[in-house]
Amino acid sequence: MRTAADANIPYKVYLTENELPRAWYNVRADMKNKPAPLLNPGTGKPMGYDDLRPVFCDELVRQELDDTTPYIAIPAEIRDFYKMYRPSPLVRAYCLEEKLGTPAKIYYKFEGNNTSGSHKLNSAIAQAYYAKQQGLKGVTTETGAGQWGTALSMACAYLGLDCRVYMVKCSYEQKPFRREVMRTYGASVTPSPSATTEIGRKILAEHPDTTGSLGCAISEAVEVATHTPGYRYVLGSVLNQVLLHQSVIGLEAKSAFDKIGVRPDVIIGCAGGGSNLGGLIAPFMREKLRGENDYRFIAVEPASCPSFTRGKFAYDFCDTGMVCPLAKMYTLGSGFIPSANHAGGLRYHGMSSTLSQLYHDGYMEARAVEQTAVFEAAEYFARVEGILPAPESSHAIRVAIDEAIRCRETGEEKTILFGLTGTGYFDMVAYQKYNDGQMSDTIPTDEELAASFAGLPKVPDTVA
Amino acid sequence: MRTAADANIPYKVYLTENELPRAWYNVRADMKNKPAPLLNPGTGKPMGYDDLRPVFCDELVRQELDDTTPYIAIPAEIRDFYKMYRPSPLVRAYCLEEKLGTPAKIYYKFEGNNTSGSHKLNSAIAQAYYAKQQGLKGVTTETGAGQWGTALSMACAYLGLDCRVYMVKCSYEQKPFRREVMRTYGASVTPSPSATTEIGRKILAEHPDTTGSLGCAISEAVEVATHTPGYRYVLGSVLNQVLLHQSVIGLEAKSAFDKIGVRPDVIIGCAGGGSNLGGLIAPFMREKLRGENDYRFIAVEPASCPSFTRGKFAYDFCDTGMVCPLAKMYTLGSGFIPSANHAGGLRYHGMSSTLSQLYHDGYMEARAVEQTAVFEAAEYFARVEGILPAPESSHAIRVAIDEAIRCRETGEEKTILFGLTGTGYFDMVAYQKYNDGQMSDTIPTDEELAASFAGLPKVPDTVA
């Protein structure tokens, strides 16, 4: 399958450590329509630096609010930490191409070669670093699939910070070993919703059988951070600062492509809160925003939690408990609790404001895929490419395979890039269900969504 | 901690795919005292090509018996498969050095960045390839920690071969998710000892509560292979052919060291059957055998299964069921069933004949370490270097840390290389036990070993 033209393209393109990006790229700087500001749910007014400081670390608030500086330097200490697992490889999927018999060239940026098992470590070390710089004692957070919690535990262990993790209950139960990894790194882990917080007790009283959601867990972690001196809350996705840190993925991918003289046509990423997708597409989106190059971007989400494809573009709470600011985003309503599918990292009711604005403005496409089709793609990929993918990442694999098959039918020689965000080693309960033929697809009805939308907060027209 | 002299040495030294070794190195070719031949347990005569063909693939028998050819070409198809996860990085443990405050330079060759989670894939793809070349339908094998079984499942899925795995019962129970990974790759997995084989039923009748051992599982897999047309047995360690394939580890490590102009003083590897250690040290041992360079080699084994440090150098059965040939090796007796410690991959009663001969001839040292000390080292390493190690690999980490601490005390600036054979993502039951403070150390008494040695087979003096 390797043609003469491909002879110089290895299976894996690695950058050297000296080629690691020296600055993150802030896509907002190049957007004509900036993402809408966070609003104070009480006053309806935009949140400024002083409003956000009680929740987030100072430097991270600055990054959150900065929509004009295009490049922000990566501190040397963070770059040194990155060197323990980065640059990550850009992989040419020769075997997958051959098996599919497609004229498409398929590449994936593989972020799973670290103990957190995903790209989450890129932002975890940055956020922990700024917390340490500020002299804090520790941080609180939520985790869905457990990848973010593991990543944060690793970063905190490295820097000597305390780490308290609220873990979505269904993941906590399905993934006891994730909990043990976090404990090995010295973190405390609590299943959410829990009785340890006011908001947790309230949610449990209303929904005693809930398997939890990222929205619930965020509420609990924020409550603890804002009530414990020396602590701040950190978040693994959705926020602008997270997309900023994750731009290291796309910057590396772009450098690697430049090195081999290739330009991708289609870029595909799974989207829960948007951290991976936003990071992967960042430098390519820059060229599209500036009219320098065109790319197709495809966000892939679970049909059971379809924020982009069936959500509303509106101001909504970032959390279920309604303690967080309002963000303008594609949302299913902060009261929406998705069915217990196996991509815990994608079970979030909302979406990054930045990606939401880009989608709204027509710079991106979105597709919702069903769970069984996702695991079919995961198994296929594992057998052919040798990497057992995370269920989250497998959403992107599904659409990459679909696009490659389309190329086989049309004869188009497109170059496809997708984000392989992580490995599925802690998702074997899900794989077992698939292996046993017991996986099902649950999709919200229009009525369920309408009921959830009815709970969207009222925001003054002048702001929204 | 990075001195000026280190400035040119990155955290990770990668070879390019073109620098992947083109031939395996066969250490036996340079040994004056060759490893003793396998013997037929019935006749006491050396086993030849025709004797071994019913059990192993033809080409693998040739490799097993060849103790004169120094380099054996790696087929192009195997090199292409290697490119999906190799060359593996040689990592400079800057963070560990700094934390320990040692003048020693510490490097590790990391083999865990693939879905099997260990170095086992290096031999699995080779053995599956030769089985496929021979037109076989499938292969059978045993697995202890599950790493070998996973590796073989991956290789068989890639090549379209059937794969039947007998998994040591205690691992099967502690690691249900390992089973699911193998199933995802299409393998069948049976806990051993099982009622599916004659030898399994016999062992169960004698030891109904046994948690199994590699020796038992080997017996079962061999029985199935030799009784099923179109099948052969493959083994993940111990054999000469496996050490041959695993030499890719050491060859890459040596090339990477040559590239940065560094020569290690001490080379450390964990030793169960010897596959990792034999592969890691191979090209360095070549120089030592030829008197070109000197190195210290340290084999590290669990105190609960101390083949080198407390075993006898004698002919013994390779398996518990006594269906396999006799090998001359350091052994605890084929009837020895080690306590249920958490390094399943190191619970083997014997040791590679090649390594046994080298140890016997004074080319290597050996050390036995206790489980609690091993997990202390594992946790320490995970927090400092960011990689959660396999319990097996952590034996080498323990001794590497001990050597680095000794350097701190003596001021010696030694360069240490150890083999980080794999990750511990499927060993969280063990880590949980350690996290909960419930890990114990079980060491066989002299009486227990004496009883086991009493069962060693009688071999004519002229042969032994």
Residues of A in contact with B11 (CB under 8 A): 17, 83-84
Provide the chain B residues 277-306 that lie in CB contact (below 8 A) with chain A: none
Mean pLDDT rounded to a whole number for chain B: 94
Instruction: Answer whether A117 sits within 8 Å of B183, measured CB to CB.
Output: no
Retrieve residue B90's tokens: 């040689």
Residues of B in contact with A181 (CB under 8 A): 388, 425, 428, 431
CB under 8 Å to B279, separation ≥6 — which residues? B119, B122, B243, B245, B246, B247, B248, B249, B250
| Residue A461: per-residue pLDDT | 56
- Summarised one tens digit per residue, pLDDT across range A288-339 is 999 999 999 999 999 999 999 999 999 999 887 788 899 999 999 988 888 7
- The vertex-A280 CA angle with A288 and A35, nearest 5°, equals 60
Nearest CA in chain A to B378: A184
Instruction: Answer whether B425 sits within 8 Å of A10, measured CB to CB.
Output: no
From the list A84, A117, A384, the residue facing B386 with the nearest CB is: A84
Residue of B184, B260, B376 to mutate for A, most A C-beta atoms under 10 A = B184
- Poorest-pLDDT segment among A216-220, B278-282, B302-306, B401-405: A216-220
Residues of A in contact with B431 (CB under 8 A): 180-181, 183-184
| Residue B189: per-residue pLDDT | 96
Residue of A1, A12, A189 to mutate for B, most B C-beta atoms under 10 A = A12
Residues of B in contact with A157 (CB under 8 A): 382-383
Distance CA A92, CA A100 (A): 14
The mean per-residue pLDDT over the stretch A147-173 comes to 94
Instruction: Answer whether B435 sits within 8 Å of A379, measured CB to CB.
Output: no
Residues of B in contact with A117 (CB under 8 A): 425
Name the residue among B146, B200, B137 with its Cα closest to residue B171.
B146
Q: What is the value of pTM for the model shown?
A: 0.95
- Summarised one tens digit per residue, pLDDT across range B16-42 is 999 999 999 999 999 999 999 999 988
| Residue A150: per-residue pLDDT | 96
- Reported as a pLDDT band with limits 50, 70 and 90, residue A175 is confident
- Taking 50 as the threshold, does the pLDDT of residue A464 lie above it? no
Runs of H (alpha helix) within A290-370: 307-310, 353-360
| Residue A243: per-residue pLDDT | 98
How far does the CA of residue B61 sit from the closest CA of chain A (Å)? Answer: 27
Residue B157 forms contact with A (CB below 8 Å): yes
Q: Is B165 helix (H, G, I), strand (E, B) or coil?
A: strand
Distance CA B291, CA A217 (A): 63
Residues of B in contact with A387 (CB under 8 A): 114-115
In the 3-class helix/strand/coil scheme, how is A312-325 assigned residue by residue? EEEEEECCCCCCCC
From the list A115, A383, A429, the residue facing B387 with the nearest CB is: A115
Residue A160 forms contact with B (CB below 8 Å): no
- The vertex-B113 CA angle with B107 and B115, nearest 5°, equals 150
Mean pLDDT rounded to a whole number for chain A: 94
| Residue A3: per-residue pLDDT | 58
From the list A84, A181, A423, the residue facing B428 with the nearest CB is: A181
- Summarised one tens digit per residue, pLDDT across range B367-414 is 999 999 999 999 999 999 999 999 999 999 999 999 999 999 999 999
- Summarised one tens digit per residue, pLDDT across range B39-79 is 998 899 999 999 999 999 999 999 999 999 999 999 999 99
Other CB atoms within 10 Å distance of the CB of residue B402: 17
Provide the chain B residues 361-400 that lie in CB contact (below 8 A) with chain A: 379, 382-388
- Taking 60 as the threshold, does the pLDDT of residue A128 lie above it? yes
Residues of A in contact with B185 (CB under 8 A): 382-383
Distance CA B212, CA B193 (A): 6
Instruction: Answer whether B428 sits within 8 Å of A16, measured CB to CB.
Output: no
Retrieve residue B447's tokens: 């009486």
- Taking 90 as the threshold, does the pLDDT of residue B5 lie above it? no
How far does the CA of residue A138 sit from the closest CA of chain B (Å)? Answer: 16
Residue of B11, B16, B384 to mutate for A, most A C-beta atoms under 10 A = B11
Residue B160 forms contact with A (CB below 8 Å): no
Instruction: Answer whether B115 sits within 8 Å of A387, measured CB to CB.
Output: yes
The mean per-residue pLDDT over the stretch A420-424 comes to 96
Instruction: Answer whether B113 sits within 8 Å of A115, measured CB to CB.
Output: no
Nearest CA in chain B to A9: B17
| Residue A171: per-residue pLDDT | 82
Instruction: Answer whether B432 sits within 8 Å of A180, measured CB to CB.
Output: yes
What are the φ/ψ torsions at residue B413 (nearest 5 degrees)? -100, 60
Nearest CA in chain B to A186: B383
Distance CA A124, CA A143 (A): 12
| Residue A215: per-residue pLDDT | 79
| Residue B464: per-residue pLDDT | 46
- Which amino acid, B190? T
Largest Cα–Cα distance of chain A, in whole Å?
65
CB-based contact B414:B448 (threshold 8 Å): no
The mean per-residue pLDDT over the stretch A444-455 comes to 95
Residues of B in contact with A9 (CB under 8 A): none
| Residue B460: per-residue pLDDT | 63
Distance CA A354, CA A408 (A): 34
Instruction: Answer whether B177 sits within 8 Å of A387, measured CB to CB.
Output: no
Residues of B in contact with A17 (CB under 8 A): 10-12
Residues of A in contact with B384 (CB under 8 A): 158
Instruction: Answer whether A386 sits within 8 Å of B114, measured CB to CB.
Output: yes
Distance CA B357, CA B363 (A): 9
Residue A444, preceding peptide bond in cis (omega within 30° of 0): no
Share of chain A above pLDDT 90, in %: 86
| Residue B324: per-residue pLDDT | 85
Runs of H (alpha helix) within B361-436: 371-385, 391-410, 428-435
**Partners of B372 in beta bridges:** none
Residues of A in contact with B434 (CB under 8 A): 184
Residue B98 forms contact with A (CB below 8 Å): no
**Position with higher pLDDT, A128 vs B459:** A128
Residue B156 forms contact with A (CB below 8 Å): no
Instruction: Answer whether A83 sits within 8 Å of B428, measured CB to CB.
Output: no
Residues of A in contact with B188 (CB under 8 A): none
The mean per-residue pLDDT over the stretch A58-83 comes to 97
Residues of B in contact with A388 (CB under 8 A): 115, 181, 184
Name the residue among B212, B244, B188 with its Cα closest to residue B35.
B244
Residue of A11, A17, A175 to mutate for B, most B C-beta atoms under 10 A = A11
- Under DSSP, the state recorded for B339 is -
The mean per-residue pLDDT over the stretch A242-258 comes to 98
Runs of H (alpha helix) within A25-91: 49-52, 58-65, 76-82
Name the residue among B292, B326, B328 with its Cα closest to residue B307.
B328
Largest Cα–Cα distance of chain B, in whole Å?
65
How many contacts, defined by CB atoms under 8 Å, are there between A and B? 120
CB-based contact B234:B155 (threshold 8 Å): no
CB-based contact B152:A400 (threshold 8 Å): no
The mean per-residue pLDDT over the stretch A140-145 comes to 89
How far does the CA of residue B192 sit from the closest CA of chain A (Å)? Answer: 21
Instruction: Answer whether A428 sits within 8 Å of B379, measured CB to CB.
Output: no
Nearest CA in chain B to A384: B158
- Reported as a pLDDT band with limits 50, 70 and 90, residue A340 is confident
Residues of A in contact with B113 (CB under 8 A): 113
Residue A14 forms contact with B (CB below 8 Å): yes
Residue of B115, B374, B433, B434 to mutate for A, most A C-beta atoms under 10 A = B115
